[in-house]
Amino acid sequence: MQADYVIVGAGSAGCAMAYRLAEAGKQVLVIEYGGSDAGPFIQMPAALSYPMNMKRYDWGLKTEPEPHLGGRQLVTPRGKVIGGSSSINGMIYVRGHAHDFDHWAESGAQGWSYADVLPYFKRMENWHDGGHGGDAAWRGNDGPLHVTRGPRKNPLTRAFVEAGKQAGYPVTGDYNGEQQEGFGPFDATIYKGRRWSAANAYIRPALKRPNCTITRALARRIIIEDGRAVGVEVSRGNKVDVIKANKEVIIAASALNSPKLLMLSGIGPAAHLAEHGIDLVADRPGVGQNLQDHLELYIQQAATKPVSLFSYWNIRGKAKIGLEWLLWKTGLGSSNQFESAGFIRSDAGIAYPDIQFHFLPIAVSYDGKVAPDGHGFQAHVGPMRSVSRGSVTLKSADPNDAPRIMFNYMSDPQDWEDFRKCIRLTREIFAQPAFDEFRGREIQPGEGAQSDAELDEFIRDHAESAYHPCGTCKMGAADDPMAVVDPQARVIGVEGLRLADSSIFPRITNGNLNAPSIMVGEKVSDHILQRHPLPPANDAPWVHPDWQGSQR
């Protein structure tokens, strides 16, 4: 068992790298602990709440009791399946704001500014606007990753964008194009009615080549000899093997499992590794630190007309949707139902959006429990750039043990202020004339929650992860003591070892993380192949002309 390049993890970034390295004629072996992504629960977009709650597809990781959320333990689903989290996510496609990547470059990730990454977003995309307008010049049209838009037939979905406009916010035809700020249609990794995961886009075509293979095993640690990574120790059942890498080992095991694997291999904070009796290879205090995520609340409103998806929330309705999808890949089953988006700034003086809305024409939670009112609608809302930071550490030196995850959510007073603002701004949007014919009572937080203290109690009890963990092996300058990888994604202090997934984000991006995670895989594959990066783009993003003086 050996190859030129051994990739740990067939997730969003890992699949992209396997595809590009195999395309270049390199011998690639991918190690993935999860199994097949076949079956309707993963492939049918509307069934998205199932796979992330299934042991078969999810690592089943949980946070430690979060001190600022009343000691709640939050679930943090990560895909344990071909395609990784792109096989169990909500399929929402958001590149992030241009300024996010400029911030990366300014904080030491040279060569990762928006001008540098935009060509990679274009290279990976095959964008279908579906007649909804948009910025074709800013998008790619021949990449492996199909990106589409839902039909947007539901009157609530359209009312949300209209309400945003009535509240004084801009409308944008393409938040992934020149102008992120505003309300408009969502992009999704859905194609011909199916989830278009990194597995469908990248790893399936790669595996058709004779020089790319995948093996099912648990990566236990990286084998490092004389300061160089030479292979990966894996277990299959009770048997432990070593898979040799002739050129490089590339870790792409998620923002929760990648730092764990580094620490088990002797790369991390020296004192922490000593606690667990792990021999030190490289003292990198940043491994497992800088953990970030997006938290969100569901602001739910009852509907006075039977226009929501609740009509289908029964055995017959679901059977009908499922049958139509199985036969023709059409109908409600072919959409993730997140079809309208909003990106706004919480205040004057903030240069680019720091609040995101996901609108859903039903009042339901991620675990599939529907609101008692029946018909309703909701917006998932939360701040994009919380200053709170957490960590991933080892529970033990046993590779079978889950890591200890502490996000330290809401640990900064600014978080509380931002979340209260999110609730009040959402209520204002739901109060616009566009919703007059549909608006019933507020289900949650409920009209009774108005004061700061009442809202804080709701936030403490109801804030949920948006499942966007990142930042635990941040990319930065080689002389930055907290950086784990350099701007070519090489692990600092070890030869022949790279790490490329959402762990390397210096700071979380604006929106869902699947698109930037795949972009990381695309760009890092060029670094691995020692190619010149794609030429930088000169497109300047739209910024509100009066951002200093006005919130909208």
CA–CA gap between residue 10 and residue 31 (Å, rounded): 7
C-beta separation of 393 from 404 below 8 A: yes
SS3 259: helix
C-beta separation of 262 from 36 below 8 A: no
Residue carrying structure tokens 């009791």: 65
Q: CA end-to-end span of the chain, whole Å?
A: 58
SS3 450: coil
| Closest alpha carbon to 552 in 131, 182, 130 | 182
From the candidates 468, 527, 532, 544, give the one annotated as an active-site residue.
468
C-beta separation of 198 from 146 below 8 A: no
C-beta separation of 410 from 416 below 8 A: yes
CA–CA gap between residue 18 and residue 128 (Å, rounded): 25
Q: Provide the β-strand partners of residue 242.
A: 233
CA–CA gap between residue 130 and residue 139 (Å, rounded): 14
Residue carrying structure tokens 């700034």: 345
Establish whether 171 is an annotated binding residue: no
Does residue 380 have an active-site annotation? no
C-beta separation of 8 from 31 below 8 A: yes
Quickly count: other Cβ atoms within 10 Å of residue 263's Cβ: 24
Helix (H) or strand (E) holding 316: helix 315-328
DSSP state of 93: -
Task: Give the contacts of 356 (CB within 8 A, at least 6 positions apart).
Answer: 94, 294, 341, 342, 343, 381, 382, 384, 510, 511
CA–CA gap between residue 443 and residue 430 (Å, rounded): 12
| Closest alpha carbon to 379 in 294, 454, 296 | 296
Distances from the Cα of 265 to the Cα of 322, 355, 427, 543, angstroms? 45, 38, 49, 44
> Which positions are annotated as active-site residues?
468
Q: Residues forming the annotated binding site for FAD?
A: 81
Residue list for the binding site: 81
